[in-house]
């Protein structure tokens, strides 16, 4: 009878361990999937930038330093290997885009072009999608880290080396810059 109780206890412990392990794996995979969604939006943003730079270049060819800084920031964002590096690179890219939009402010004829307006609209939409994807990723990381750090799951996580995931945080001051709202040109009826 004692052996049966011991065997049942061992089986129960193994079953609980397997269930906790599977929960950790699901949460870790959820966080990784959420990060993949962030990367999709970041790639979309980086793909829009060359078109935006070209649109502004035609009007402000003398702003070479601004164009170079946007290009360098985009390259840095593409090369970032870790989430922390990605966050830093994206903050720099956002600041560089803000400077590009500041240059565009000085050219009303540029702001009036359909191409520039469409690119600006797409970039603003992408910025919103990045914010949502980033929030979903950070929520998934929170769930994963909470499970990893609370008992009894923390026992399994510690034994099986489930590492914490970093949050994706961007300097909010630089994030707000590219969402510049350019005033509409007066309509022919206004003049």
User: What pTM was computed for the model?
Assistant: 0.78
pLDDT in tens, 22-46: 999 999 999 999 999 999 999 999 9
H or E element that contains 185: none
Of 128, 120, 94, 96, the C-alpha closest to 182 is 120
Q: How far apart, in whole angstroms, are the C-alpha atoms of residue 5 and residue 155?
A: 23
Question: Which of 85-94, 96-105, 160-169 comes out lowest in average pLDDT?
Answer: 96-105
CB atoms within 10 A of CB 31: 21
- Structure confidence at residue 180 (pLDDT): 40
């Amino acid at each position: 009878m004692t052996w049966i109780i011991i065997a049942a206890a061992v089986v129960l412990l193994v079953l609980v361990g397997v269930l906790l392990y599977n929960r950790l794996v699901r949460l870790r995979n959820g966080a990784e999937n959420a990060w993949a969604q962030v990367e999709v939006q970041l790639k979309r943003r980086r793909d829009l930038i060359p078109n935006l730079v070209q649109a502004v270049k035609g009007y402000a060819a003398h702003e070479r330093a601004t164009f170079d800084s946007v290009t360098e920031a985009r390259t840095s964002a593409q090369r970032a290997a870790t989430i922390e590096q990605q966050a830093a690179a994206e903050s720099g890219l956002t600041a560089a885009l803000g400077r590009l939009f500041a240059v565009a402010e000085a050219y009303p004829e540029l702001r009036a072009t359909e191409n520039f307006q469409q690119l600006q609209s797409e970039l603003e939409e992408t910025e919103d999608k990045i914010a949502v994807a980033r929030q979903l990723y950070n929520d998934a990381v929170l769930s994963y880290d909470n499970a990893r750090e609370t008992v009894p799951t923390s026992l399994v996580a510690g034994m099986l080396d489930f590492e914490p995931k970093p949050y994706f945080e961007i300097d909010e001051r630089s994030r707000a810059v590219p969402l510049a709202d350019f005033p509409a040109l007066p309509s022919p009826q206004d003049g």
